[in-house]
């Protein structure tokens, strides 16, 4: 199972909107479905991504197509912090307060 932070949810909305406007509904659906599949795989294999301790302790990253998925592992879950395009500098977009968000 995975849970999205508020910012990660907005990231996914923006990715879908950009894909829709740039490539059409079919490709937007394909891309967002593939992202969902990767998130489900990460939830099953949370250590598939590599550690990003230079950014924050406990933060991991997995690259998928044109985006980097930043997440934290939790017992039996993962928490998706952000989903950033490579042109987005992680240190500018990964605010420390979101590392403190936890599952219910």
Asked if 1 and 76 count as a contact pair (C-beta separation under 8 A), the reply is: yes
For the cut 90, the answer to whether the pLDDT of residue 75 exceeds it is: no
Q: Which domain holds residue 56?
A: 2-100
What pTM was computed for the model? 0.83
Residue 81 sits in a domain whose CATH number is: 3.30.2310.20
Residue for token pair 């990460």: 42
Alpha-carbon distances of 72 from 2, 61, 69, 80, rounded to whole Å: 10, 9, 10, 7
State the total domains in the chain.
1
Average pLDDT over residues 70-88: 84
Residue 35: which H helix or E strand, with range? Answer: helix 25-44
For the chain, how are helix, strand and coil distributed in percent, rounded to 5? 50, 25, 25
Q: What is the mean pLDDT of the chain?
A: 85
- Which residue did the predictor score with more confidence, 76 or 37? 37
């Amino acid at each position: 199972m995975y849970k999205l932070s508020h910012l990660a949810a907005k990231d996914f909305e923006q990715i879908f909107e950009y894909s829709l406007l740039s490539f059409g509904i079919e490709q937007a659906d394909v891309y967002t479905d593939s992202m969902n599949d990767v998130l489900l795989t990460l939830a099953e294999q949370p250590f598939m991504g590599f550690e990003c301790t230079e950014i924050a302790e406990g933060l991991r990253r997995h690259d998928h197509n044109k985006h980097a998925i930043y997440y934290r592992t939790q017992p039996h879950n993962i928490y998706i912090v952000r989903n950033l395009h490579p042109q987005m500098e992680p240190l500018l977009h990964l605010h420390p307060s979101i590392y403190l968000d936890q599952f219910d």
